[in-house]
Amino acid sequence: MEWPLIIASLVLGILLGYVGHTILARNSESDGKGKAHEQTKLELSQHKQEVTDHFELHHKQLAELTEQLNKVNKQWNEAANSLAPKSKAKPLASLVGNETNHDTISVQDDELDSENVIIVNQNN
């Protein structure tokens, strides 16, 4: 009678050990997924900040480039007028750049906000 009881206890112990191990593995796996999810969220927010910084830097560089191009065009037009006043060549256009706060700009899907567009002034 002792052997069947020992064998049944062994089988029951193995089953309980397997079930316990499976439950603990699932809990540790979900903790790992939670940590990975938090890490991914952190990386995403860092990437968003890097992209925002990138666009701010390029906006500043493009605004400076527009300003320099306007100066060059103005000097070119003045030189062309003084050196060849009877020339029929059209003067170079001047770019108009609006300084806007990009946090307050809202563009709808089907509408283009004129504050976001560089307008070429052909009157100069």
* pLDDT 10s digits, 1-44: 688 888 989 999 999 999 988 888 887 777 777 888 899 999 99
Q: Which spans in the chain are helix H?
A: 2-83
* 85 has pLDDT over 90: no
Q: Which residue has the tokens 């509408």?
A: 111
pTM listed for this prediction: 0.48
* 82 has pLDDT over 80: yes
- Band (pLDDT 50/70/90 cuts) for residue 121 is low
Q: Measured in whole angstroms, how far is the alpha carbon of residue 62 from the centre of its chain?
A: 18
Residue 95, strand partner residues: 120
| Residues 94, 73 contacting (CB under 8 angstroms) | yes
The span from the CA of 110 to the CA of 52, in Å, is: 24
Q: Measured in whole angstroms, how far is the alpha carbon of residue 68 from the centre of its chain?
A: 28
Q: Coil, helix or strand for 97? A: coil
The span from the CA of 91 to the CA of 96, in Å, is: 15
Residue 119, strand partner residues: 96
The span from the CA of 70 to the CA of 5, in Å, is: 96
* 72 has pLDDT over 50: yes
The span from the CA of 22 to the CA of 116, in Å, is: 58
pLDDT attached to residue 124: 47
- Band (pLDDT 50/70/90 cuts) for residue 59 is very high
